[in-house]
């Protein structure tokens, strides 16, 4: 069985690649240096329909012409030239649009989705806290009902697309009570930007992804209407788990873009760089390392698009969940390895910021962390095998 993309997907890939190479690649290094979030280009991505690939036509999306595989193709192609723009799309759709599309009421969807799908606005997903990341059950942010309003107090951290000039809302998890078994009741709430008591604090000074928008969030007696509950009360934990499963495949696609960039850069450089009377690509020590990148790329791409195909086909949840974790742990760790190899192939030039390889090297590490760390993926894979791992 193969997981080759359809002719339609390949045609779509070409269109996204043309856009990325024309509108993003020439500016990516400068955006990285300036820590600049290019709102105009993000909205051009919206004009191209990239934020609507999983949304129905009634909200301005691609409808039957789009699917999850198409989203992965777009993320891969953007990530091939700039990981920051790749994660902006991934988070904008997977963490911003899809929770509303999946769990929102009709009124919530009609209010928020048209602008989000068009790329005119962005939404974030506030899960991680200073003491609660992978251990989401340790969430400390609280929301209490008072006179028909939720009163929210707490903090979130590392939240993508949460404080840009076009961010319209952030979906957050919060403790809304205690379950019968004594565990916290976790629900999801929609917090519009500009709500009194909600502050997107100063953007992080990150190791990589300099052109993406990432902030810590603070909530102090922040009040939103009771109807801003997203999905069923007490189901926030299950909702975010399903959201992260999709996100893991999308992060795998971003990793595939990184791997492709490393392979392209290394093949070109190894064919041009001359030492000892010939190109360094004829030296086995260099050629074999580049061959390793090609192997990791092919395996990562197959694992990623296999999982995407399962999502589109409506595969049983447990099978998809296992495939998503396998793709995520392999593709992300391969991307980190590939950037290290690429930096080595480039030698001293690889250590210079004027070469894209340095930017990819910095950007890659977080791939092993976001949407569930490599350790969490291995735990989930082991559980899927029936092992009683804690």
Query: What would the pLDDT profile of 229-242 be if each residue is shown by its tens digit?
Result: 999 999 998 898 88
What is the per-residue DSSP string for 229-269? EESSTT-HHHHHHHHHHHHHHHHHHHHHHHHHHHHHHHHHH
If one counts every other C-beta atom within 10 angstroms of the C-beta of residue 338, the result is 29
| Same domain? 245 vs 377 | yes
pLDDT bracket for residue 1 (50, 70, 90): low
Element (H, E) at 188: strand 184-192
Q: What is the CATH number of the domain that holds 117?
A: 1.10.540.10
Catalytic residues: 371
Whether residue 389 lies inside any domain: the answer is no
State the Cα–Cα distance between residues 218 and 308, nearest whole angstrom: 35
Whether residue 245 lies inside any domain: the answer is yes
Q: For residue 326, how far is the Cα from the chain centroid?
A: 16
pLDDT of residue 204: 97
Spatial CB neighbours of 343, under 8 Å, sequence gap ≥ 6? 350, 351, 357, 358, 361
Among 187, 210, 233, identify where a domain stops: 233
If one counts every other C-beta atom within 10 angstroms of the C-beta of residue 389, the result is 11
Whether residue 81 lies inside any domain: the answer is yes
pLDDT digits (tens, 9 = 90+) for 267-309: 999 999 999 999 999 999 999 999 999 999 999 999 999 999 9
Whether residue 377 lies inside any domain: the answer is yes
Pairing of the two strands 122-126 and 167-178: parallel
| Same domain? 278 vs 220 | no
| Same domain? 244 vs 345 | yes
Whether residue 48 lies inside any domain: the answer is yes
Residue 202 has pLDDT above 90, yes or no: yes
Q: What domain range is 157 assigned to?
A: 124-233
pLDDT bracket for residue 194 (50, 70, 90): very high
State the Cα–Cα distance between residues 6 and 28, nearest whole angstrom: 30
State the Cα–Cα distance between residues 262 and 168, nearest whole angstrom: 35
Among 75, 105, 122, identify where a domain stops: 122
Residue 25 carries which DSSP code?
T
| Same domain? 366 vs 281 | yes
| Same domain? 36 vs 80 | yes
| Same domain? 356 vs 246 | yes
Residue 39 has pLDDT above 90, yes or no: yes
- Give how many domains the chain has, as a whole number: 3
| Same domain? 116 vs 152 | no
| Same domain? 249 vs 341 | yes
Average pLDDT of the segment spanning 330-342: 98
Residue 2 has pLDDT above 80, yes or no: no
pLDDT bracket for residue 172 (50, 70, 90): very high
| Residue 247 · residue 94 · CB < 8 Å | yes
Residue 160 has pLDDT above 90, yes or no: yes
Polymer length in residues for the chain: 390
State the Cα–Cα distance between residues 217 and 164, nearest whole angstrom: 12
Whether residue 390 lies inside any domain: the answer is no
pLDDT digits (tens, 9 = 90+) for 41-93: 999 999 999 999 999 999 999 998 899 999 999 999 999 999 999 999 999 99
Residues of the chain with pLDDT > 70: what percent? 99
Whether residue 2 lies inside any domain: the answer is no
State the Cα–Cα distance between residues 166 and 144, nearest whole angstrom: 28
| Same domain? 188 vs 306 | no
Among 184, 214, 233, identify where a domain stops: 233
| Residue 102 · residue 56 · CB < 8 Å | no
| Same domain? 251 vs 131 | no
Q: What 3-state DSSP class applies to 62?
A: coil
| Same domain? 380 vs 286 | yes
Element (H, E) at 149: strand 149-160
Q: What is the CATH number of the domain that holds 277?
A: 1.20.140.10
Q: What is the CATH number of the domain that holds 214?
A: 2.40.110.10
| Same domain? 308 vs 347 | yes
């Amino acid at each position: 069985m193969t997981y080759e993309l359809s002719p339609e997907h390949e045609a779509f890939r070409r269109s996204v690649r043309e856009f990325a190479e024309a509108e993003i690649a020439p500016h990516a290094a400068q955006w990285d240096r300036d820590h600049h979030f290019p709102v105009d280009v993000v909205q051009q991505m919206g004009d191209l329909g990239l934020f609507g690939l999983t949304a129905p036509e009634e909200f301005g999306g691609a409808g039957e012409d789009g699917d999850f595989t198409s989203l992965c193709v777009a993320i891969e192609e953007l990530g091939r030239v700039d990981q920051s723009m790749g994660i902006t799309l991934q988070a904008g759709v997977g963490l911003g649009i899809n929770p509303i599309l999946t769990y929102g009421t009709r009124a919530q969807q009609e209010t928020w989705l048209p602008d989000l799908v068009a790329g005119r606005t962005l939404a974030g997903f506030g899960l991680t806290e200073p003491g609660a990341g992978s251990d989401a059950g340790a969430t400390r942010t609280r929301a209490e009902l008072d006179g028909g309003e939720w009163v929210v107090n707490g903090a979130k951290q590392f939240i993508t697309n949460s404080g840009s000039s076009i961010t319209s809302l952030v979906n957050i998890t919060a403790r809304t009570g205690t379950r019968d078994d004594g565990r916290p009741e976790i629900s999801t709430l929609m917090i519009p930007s500009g709500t009194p008591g909600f502050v997107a604090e100063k953007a992080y000074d990150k190791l990589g992804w300099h052109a993406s928008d990432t902030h810590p969030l603070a909530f102090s007696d922040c009040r939103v209407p009771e109807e801003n509950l997203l999905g069923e009360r007490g189901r926030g934990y299950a909702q975010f788990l399903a959201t992260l499963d999709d996100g893991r495949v999308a992060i795998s696609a971003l990793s595939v873009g990184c791997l492709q960039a490393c392979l392209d850069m290394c093949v070109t450089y190894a064919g041009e760089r001359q030492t000892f009377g010939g190109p360094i690509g004829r030296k086995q020590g260099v050629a074999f390392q580049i061959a390793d990148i090609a192997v990791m790329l092919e395996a990562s791409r197959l694992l990623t698009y296999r999982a995407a195909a399962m999502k589109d086909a409506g595969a049983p949840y447990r099978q998809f969940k296992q495939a998503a974790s396998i793709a995520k742990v392999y593709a992300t760790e391969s991307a980190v390895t590939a950037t290290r190899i690429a930096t080595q192939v480039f030698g001293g030039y690889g250590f210079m910021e004027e070469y894209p390889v340095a930017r990819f090297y910095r950007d890659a590490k977080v791939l092993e962390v976001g949407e569930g760390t490599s350790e969490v993926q291995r735990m989930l894979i082991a559980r899927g095998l029936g092992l009683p791992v804690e």
